[in-house]
């Protein structure tokens, strides 16, 4: 890792099927960010188990997620790519940070409240502790920049609070991280209910475009996306949430600004517009899927990437953890 570059960290849970929301919200930017930052990218499988998972599926999805990172242009020579559970320091720092986090703060987290409602039968301690583990992920690497979608903003704020709290209690220990949210597409909405974010775990799969969807499925889902009765392609998130969401998707995938996209569809109907959005998405997903499959056929290579990533991550993480242990008074030999 280059000394002069700032550290950037992001993670994705290897759960369900990733959506174009995950892609636009963060993954898409990773390729270019590697040029300017020391990047660390994790498959957050420890976060994943806060909701019950099928073990075989979780294993498979972890491998597939690492392959997807690489398919999206992450270069494991430049960046650290690893699996969260391969670096025990995450759990260790999480424990220490738990003692700097208040139960009330965790109870107020929007995602905790949402997930508790959806998984009322399993409101486990891990679900509540989720943001502290995320803080540990970020703080272990002295991260300055965290590229994520808007749904993670609250978690990032708490990571900043915990870092500052610890620094104030002892002396500067952690870098206080900053979120980096995409200018366009920080919150991609559900195609059928644009008031909600597009989610991996949505009840109706037709509201989400999955990165694994084939061309026909992508085009069909976009054709059915909710719009309005005005038949005018205009960006107005307040009054035209559906159309604005589609413009955002078109802009993110087509590499055009929202204004350019509006001009392109000036005078055209929603039918043409939705087809064009479907095509631009499908055109991008096809090569990604092919590259992911190619990589998945070489498990040895993927294992070597993860192993190397975990070793490099571990080295950085241990340094921070050892500092923390010293400050809090853990006897070290």
Structure-block tokens of residue 129: 């502790």
Cβ proximity to ligand TYM, 30 vs 273, nearer residue: 30
187 binds ligand TYM (CB under 6 A): yes
Please choose, out of 118-126, 144-152, 292-300, 306-314, the segment that lies near ligand TYM by the rule CB under 6 A: 144-152
The reply to whether 115 belongs to the active site is yes
Q: How far is CA 211 from CA 19, 60, 62, 200, 284, in A?
A: 5, 16, 15, 10, 10
Least spacing, CB of residue 28 vs ligand TYM, in Å = 10
From the list 115, 221, 240, 274, the catalytic residue is 115
Which residues within the stretch 45-64 sit at the binding site for ligand TYM (CB under 6 A)?
47
Residue in 7, 26, 101, 244 binding ligand TYM, rule: CB under 6 A: 26
Q: What mask, x for binding ligand TYM by CB under 6 A, covers residues 297 to 316? A: --------------------
38 binds ligand TYM (CB under 6 A): no
Least spacing, CB of residue 305 vs ligand TYM, in Å = 19
212-239: burial string, b at 16+ Cβ within 10 Å, e else:
ebeeebbbebbeebbbeeeebbebeeee
Positions in the binding site for ligand TYM (CB under 6 A): 9-13, 21-22, 24-26, 44, 47, 134, 137-138, 146, 148-149, 151-152, 186-188, 197-198
Q: Where in the sequence numbering do the catalytic residues fall? A: 115, 197, 200
């Amino acid at each position: 890792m280059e000394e002069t570059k700032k550290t950037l960290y992001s993670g994705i849970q290897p759960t369900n099927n990733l959506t174009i929301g995950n892609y636009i919200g963060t993954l898409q930017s990773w390729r270019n960010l590697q040029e300017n930052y020391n990047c660390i990218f994790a498959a957050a499988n420890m976060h994943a188990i806060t909701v019950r998972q099928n073990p075989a599926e979780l294993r498979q999805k972890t491998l597939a997620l690492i392959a997807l990172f690489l398919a999206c242009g992450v270069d494991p020579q430049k960046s650290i790519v690893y699996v969260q559970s391969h670096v025990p320091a995450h759990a260790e720092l999480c424990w220490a940070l738990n003692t700097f986090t208040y139960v009330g703060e965790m109870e107020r987290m929007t995602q905790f409240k949402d997930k508790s409602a959806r998984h009322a039968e399993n409101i486990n301690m891990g679900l509540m502790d989720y943001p502290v583990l995320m803080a540990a992920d970020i703080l272990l690497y002295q991260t300055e920049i965290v590229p994520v979608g808007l749904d993670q903003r609250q978690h990032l704020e708490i990571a900043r609070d915990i870092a500052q709290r610890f620094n104030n209690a002892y002396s500067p220990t952690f870098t206080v991280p900053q979120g980096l949210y995409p200018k366009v597409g920080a919150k991609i909405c559900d195609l059928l209910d644009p008031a909600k974010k597009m989610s991996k775990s949505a009840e109706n799969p037709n509201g989400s475009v999955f990165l694994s969807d084939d061309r026909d499925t992508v085009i069909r889902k976009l054709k059915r996306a909710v719009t309005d009765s005005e038949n005018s392609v205009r960006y107005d998130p307040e009054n035209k949430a559906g159309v604005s969401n589609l413009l955002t998707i078109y802009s993110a995938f087509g590499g055009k600004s929202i204004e350019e996209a509006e001009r392109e569809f000036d005078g055209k109907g929603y039918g043409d517009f939705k087809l064009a959005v479907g095509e631009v998405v499908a055109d991008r997903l096809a090569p990604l899927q092919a590259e992911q499959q190619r990589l998945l056929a070489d498990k040895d290579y993927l294992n070597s990437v993860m192993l190397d990533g975990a070793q490099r991550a571990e080295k950085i993480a241990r340094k921070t953890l050892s500092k923390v242990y010293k400050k809090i008074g853990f006897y070290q030999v």
